[in-house]
Amino acid sequence: MLSLRKGRYAARFAETPADMAAAQGLRHLCFRGSAGLDADAFDAICRHVLVEETRTGALAACFRLLPLTSGCEIGRSYSAQYYDLGALEAFDGPMVEMGRFCIHPDRRDPDILRVAWGAMTRFVDANGVRMLFGCSSFKGTEAEVYLDAFAMLRERHLAPRRWLPRVKAPQVFRFARRLARREPDRKRALLTMPPLLRTYLVMGGWVSDHAVVDRDLNTLHVFTGLEIGAIPPARARLLRGVAG
């Protein structure tokens, strides 16, 4: 049972149909910009985490988790629809995919993301997870808005060759090739990079060498991986401080 309370926010697993509907409603608002329910076949095989305001119970953020015993199961993941993850089939150890992460658009409190990562850390530690992965989304499908961010990803954060995802989706932006000579403006790159992705990167995360154009959700996304053993000790202590 996941239960984490820090300051104004608390994280817990969704347990009821109403909880699930609330998460799907927030996802629809964040990814599609309107009222409705964002649902797919992966919902039934995932655990869903809600981050709520403790005073009102209002849903501030949510995400879902798909645990895998090792890389041999990675073909079951949501990400495997869009990326050739054959290299990661050799990963020996428990993995978990984090997906559909979103924060209510009216909320700007950084503690929401902090509590979400605290809940994730507690889950990772409790289940001996050795790799966390998923798709990190940029809003919209026009890559030109994010060229500095993609150039920084190419320069500093590409996946190790042994784990590098290959192209599978029909429409992609091959930023590692296209931006090989572009010097990124660091300030602009960080301003346009999704907060979730920035958090992955400061913990030692890495990304695919291309972005998938997802017109259904109106996003560009990169495959993102984080080997738990590679997290810097100081950062790991901070995360476990929130999770404790």
| Cα distance between residue 144 and residue 192, in whole Å | 11
Q: Are strands 131-139 and 219-227 parallel, antiparallel or unpaired?
A: antiparallel
Q: Over the stretch 15-53, which tens digit does the pLDDT of each residue have? A: 999 999 999 999 999 999 999 999 999 999 999 999 999
Q: CATH number of the domain that 213 lies in?
A: 3.40.630.30
Q: What are the structure tokens assigned to 207, written together?
A: 């990304």
Domain range spanning residue 167? 3-243
SS3 state at 48: strand
Q: Over the stretch 142-162, which tens digit does the pLDDT of each residue have? A: 999 999 999 999 999 999 999
Helix (H) or strand (E) holding 11: strand 9-13
Answer for the pair 207, 164: CB distance below 8 angstroms, yes or no: no
Enumerate the β-bridge partners of residue 194.
Answer: none
Q: How many domains does the chain have?
A: 1
| Cα distance between residue 140 and residue 138, in whole Å | 6
